[in-house]
Structure formats: structure tokens, C-alpha cells
């Protein structure tokens, strides 16, 4: 039965909320990057900082945040005094035990940087390692090399950080299964607590997409992509990492709490150009342009490029799709509490079909993807995206 009660309560200020801050600065664009990021001078960065402060004020009243995530772009590309000022402002607005993550580019960090951000409340580091193969890093157009990543992990650990994650990319053109195994092994040897591993994506108007269209690049086959993904799951499991989402693996207790909140469809505020938000019953996306974003906020207007208040049914579908990305899957009681819907009744047809195809299974009273369906998750999830 749909009560709609949980959904309408989402229109009020939630008791528990996260904040994502998009820091859109990079020193150079990577070949594959479709995120919004630019190079910016000191004046633009100061204006950006003023704008995100004001944007958060415009959302008031806000609860104190259970997770804070600084992503980008490269937060470590921000001018340091401005980044430290940003941290001095945002971390007191988080709960004392909040997870507070920053993404960093390994070329942009050093011992002093980690010492300063730790003093300012950051307790989780996400390092954009991407690969431990020098040729692949060059192909991707990264500004860092393998030694930068090793040094970055050392510096973070020396500064007292324990919760360190590495982001990796597989299925890079020219890469072999053994290249990928080598990158995974080198990542594991650095003893991170968390590893994200994503297949290289071809999206947007990136040099990668253009070079591929021009015939200069040949993407690896779907078959090899799938074998690399399978190898990821097996290798990380053997090294003691638990897969808790399609592309995310962690030592027990080190799952990214911020991203888990996305997959549980919990509210979050997004600040900065191109940031997405889900707050007070509205899903929003900010303009992916720094100047337009700053201009709107200076006039005390939200800088939304799009905003949408999902219907209760849409909210239920979103929640199902997001929950199914996790290895826990959909917990029926929690799903009904959150959305007002009975999962078995709402999705009777796709559940029956995908149980029959062995794409879904009931595991500990939760509905989740089978191991075999992880590599084709999108084809299963699209059947839950609309009813
Ligand atoms: S560092 Fe990240 S955000 Fe910046 S250009 Fe490269 S992939 Fe894009």
C-alpha cells in the first residue's frame, strides 16, 4: 500500500543530511573527462568560495551533516589557503563523527597538505590513482605518475590518515588482462582501505570520444572488459576487500558512508557548479559553468540548470535502482518505510522475470543482483527505472 507519508515528509528539512561540494578546478583536462572542471585564477577561486558559502545559507535551515564530500574536479588543485578556509567553514557544520572525504590528485599533494587538512577535520582520502601502468596514465592524459601515487599514500598515512581509498580505471585501450592484474596488485600492495574500479567510459564531447570516432583509438572488446571486471571482483575478494557496490570494494567497516547514502536515496545538498542535490523533495542540478553559477548566487537565486520533484512512484523507482547497485540490495521493510510501497507488488513483473533469468536473488531477506548479473547490471536496473 502506498501511504505517500515518507515521500511528503522529504519536503521538510530532513533530520539527517549530507553535503557534496563540487570543486571544479583542474590544472589540465584528462583525455576521458566529461566532468565540469576548468583552470581558474585566484580571484575566480575566491568568488567561488564566497558563492558556495552563500549557496548553503540559501538552503537554511540545514541539519548538521552526517557526511561531507569534497569532489571535483580536483579539490587538491584549489589554492591552498582558499581550500583551508573552505574546510574551516564546512567541517564545523558536520556532526562530530561525520565522515569527511576529500578527493585528491596525487601530483598535487605533499606532507604539509595532508597535515593541514587533517587538522581541519578531513578523515577520509580518496586518491585518483587510476592506473599503476605508466603508459596507461599517459594515454589517459593524467598529470601524475605512478611514483606520485605511492608518495601520496605515504604522505597521507604519515599525516595520520587511516581511511585511504584508491580510484582505478580498467578497460583502457591497449590494456591486457595481465596489465590490469598488475595495477590491481600494486594498488593492493599500498594497503588502502577502499578501492573503486570503473570501466573507462566514452561520454560527452571528450578527446577520447573524438579520437575514437576518428578511428585513432580502438576500445577494448566487451568480452575483455567483462573479464577484467570479473578479475577485479576475484582479486579484491582474495585480498580481503568486500564488494559492497557494483564498482566499490572496502575492508570491513571502510565502506564510503557518503556514497552509501546516495545508494540509499537519502537527502544531500550539492554545492558548486554542476553539483547535483536531493533536498526537501527536489532533485536539482546546478549550471555547469562557474561564471553563471556565481552570477546567479550573487543575486540570491539558486543556479539550477534543472530541478524536478519526483512523484512518489518515481521516488520508489529511483530508490529501487539505487538500492540494487549495492550488494545488500533492497531491504523490503526499509523500502516500504522509505517510499510507502511494497516492493513485491510494485515490481512484480521485473522481479519475476529477473529471478527466472537468475539476474536477481533473495539473499538474507533482501532482493539483490546475482554475481553473474553484476556485469550486466544496467540491463536489469533499467526494468526498475519506470513502472
Ligand atoms: S583530474 Fe578528474 S576532474 Fe580533473 S580533468 Fe582529470 S578526470 Fe577530470
Q: Looking at the domain assignment, is residue 106 inside a domain?
A: yes
Tell me which of 25, 26, 39, 130 to substitute to probe ligand 1's pocket, judged by most ligand atoms within 8 Å of the beta carbon: 26
Tell whether 63 and 179 lie within a shared domain. Answer: yes
* CA 299 centroid distance within chain: 30
- 29 Cβ inside 6 Å of ligand 1: yes
326 Ramachandran zone, left/alpha/beta (phi>0; psi -120 to 50): beta
Per-residue confidence at 15, pLDDT binned at 50, 70, 90? confident
What is the residue with the minimal CA distance to atom 8 of ligand 1?
33
Summarised one tens digit per residue, pLDDT across range 120-134 is 999 999 999 999 999
d(CA 156, CA 160): 7
CATH of the domain at 377: 1.10.10.920
Q: Given this model, what pLDDT does residue 1 score? A: 41
- Tell me the average pLDDT across 37-50: 96
Over residues 357-373, the mean pLDDT reads: 97
φ and ψ of 45, to 5 deg: -70, -35
253: alpha, beta or left? (left if phi > 0; alpha if psi -120 to 50): left
What pLDDT sits at residue 89?
98
**What pTM did the predictor assign?**
0.95
> Which helix or strand (DSSP H or E) is residue 26 part of?
none
Q: Is the CB–ligand 1 distance for residue 26 below 6 Å? A: yes
Average pLDDT value for residue range 166-192: 98
Same domain for 211 and 330?
A: no
Q: Are 130 and 87 in contact (CB under 8 A)?
A: no
- Ligand 1 atom closest to the Cα of residue 105 is 1
Q: Is residue 234 part of a domain?
A: yes
75 and 188 in one domain?
Answer: yes
Residues 259 and 317 placed together within one structural domain of the fold: no
Residue reference for cell 550539492 = 270
What number is the average pLDDT over the span 183-194?
Answer: 98
Average pLDDT for residues 262-275, to the nearest whole number? 97
Per-residue pLDDT tens over the stretch 95-111: 999 999 999 999 999 99
Q: Nearest C-alpha to atom 2 of ligand 1 is from which residue?
A: 73
Q: Whose CA is nearest to atom 6 of ligand 1?
A: 30
What is the span of the domain harbouring residue 333?
Answer: 313-384
The number of domains in the chain is: 2
* pLDDT one-digit tens code per residue, 307-362: 999 999 999 999 999 999 999 999 999 999 999 999 999 999 999 999 999 999 99
Q: According to the model, what pLDDT value does residue 13 have?
A: 81
Residue with CA nearest ligand 1 atom 7? 33
Distances (CA, A) of 381 to 243, 334, 350: 18, 19, 9
The radius of gyration computed from the CA coordinates of the chain, to the nearest angstrom, equals 21
Q: Does 74 share its domain with 133?
A: yes
Concatenated DSSP letters of 198-250: EE----SS-HHHHHHHTTS--PPPHHHHHHHHHHHHHHHHHTTPEEEETTEEE
What SS3 class is residue 145?
A: coil
Confidence of residue 386 (pLDDT cuts 50, 70, 90): confident
Amino acid at each position: 500500500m502506498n501511504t505517500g507519508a515518507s515521500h511528503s515528509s522529504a519536503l521538510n528539512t530532513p533530520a539527517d543530511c549530507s553535503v557534496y561540494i563540487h570543486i571544479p578546478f583542474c590544472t589540465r583536462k584528462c583525455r576521458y573527462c566529461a566532468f565540469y572542471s576548468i583552470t581558474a585564477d585566484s580571484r575566480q577561486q575566491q568568488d567561488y568560495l564566497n558563492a558556495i558559502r552563500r549557496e548553503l545559507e540559501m538552503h537554511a535551515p540545514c541539519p548538521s551533516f552526517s557526511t561531507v564530500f569534497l569532489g571535483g574536479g580536483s579539490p587538491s588543485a584549489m589554492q591552498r589557503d582558499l581550500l583551508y578556509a573552505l574546510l574551516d567553514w564546512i567541517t564545523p557544520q558536520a556532526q562530530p563523527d561525520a565522515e569527511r572525504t576529500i578527493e585528491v590528485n596525487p601530483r598535487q599533494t605533499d606532507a604539509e597538505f595532508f597535515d593541514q587538512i587533517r587538522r581541519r577535520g578531513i578523515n577520509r582520502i580518496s586518491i585518483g590513482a587510476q592506473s599503476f601502468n605508466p603508459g596507461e596514465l599517459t594515454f589517459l592524459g593524467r598529470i601524475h605518475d605512478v611514483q606520485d601515487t605511492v608518495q601520496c599514500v605515504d604522505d597521507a598515512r604519515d599525516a595520520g590518515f587511516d581511511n585511504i581509498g584508491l580510484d582505478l580505471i580498467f578497460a583502457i585501450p591497449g590494456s591486457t588482462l595481465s596489465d590490469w592484474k598488475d595495477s590491481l596488485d600494486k594498488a593492493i600492495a599500498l594497503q588502502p582501505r577502499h578501492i573503486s574500479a570503473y570501466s573507462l567510459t566514452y561520454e560527452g564531447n571528450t578527446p577520447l570520444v573524438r579520437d575514437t570516432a576518428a578511428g585513432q583509438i580502438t576500445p577494448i572488446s566487451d568480452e575483455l572488459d567483462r573479464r577484467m571486471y570479473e578479475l577485479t571482483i576475484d582479486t579484491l575478494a582474495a585480498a580481503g576487500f568486500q564488494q559492497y557496490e557494483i564498482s566499490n570494494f572496502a575492508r570491513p567497516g571502510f565502506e564510503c558512508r557518503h556514497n552509501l547514502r546516495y545508494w540509499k536515496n537519502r537527502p544531500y545538498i550539492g554545492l558548486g557548479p554542476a553539483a547535483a542535490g536531493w533536498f526537501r523533495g527536489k532533485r536539482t542540478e546546478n549550471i555547469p559553468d562557474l561564471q553563471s553559477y556565481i552570477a546567479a548566487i550573487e543575486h540570491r537565486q539558486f543556479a539550477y540548470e534543472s530541478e524536478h520533484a519526483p512523484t512518489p512512484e518515481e521516488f520508489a523507482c529511483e530508490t529501487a535502482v539505487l538500492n540494487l547497485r549495492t550488494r545488500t540490495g533492497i531491504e523490503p521493510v526499509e523500502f516500504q518505510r522509505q517510499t510507502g510501497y511494497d516492493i513485491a507488488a510494485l515490481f512484480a513483473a521485473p522481479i519475476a522475470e529477473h529471478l527466472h533469468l537468475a539476474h536477481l536473488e533473495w539473499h538474507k531477506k533482501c532482493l539483490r543482483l546475482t554475481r553473474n548479473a553484476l556485469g550486466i547490471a544496467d540491463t536489469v536496473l533499467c526494468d526498475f527505472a519506470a513502472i
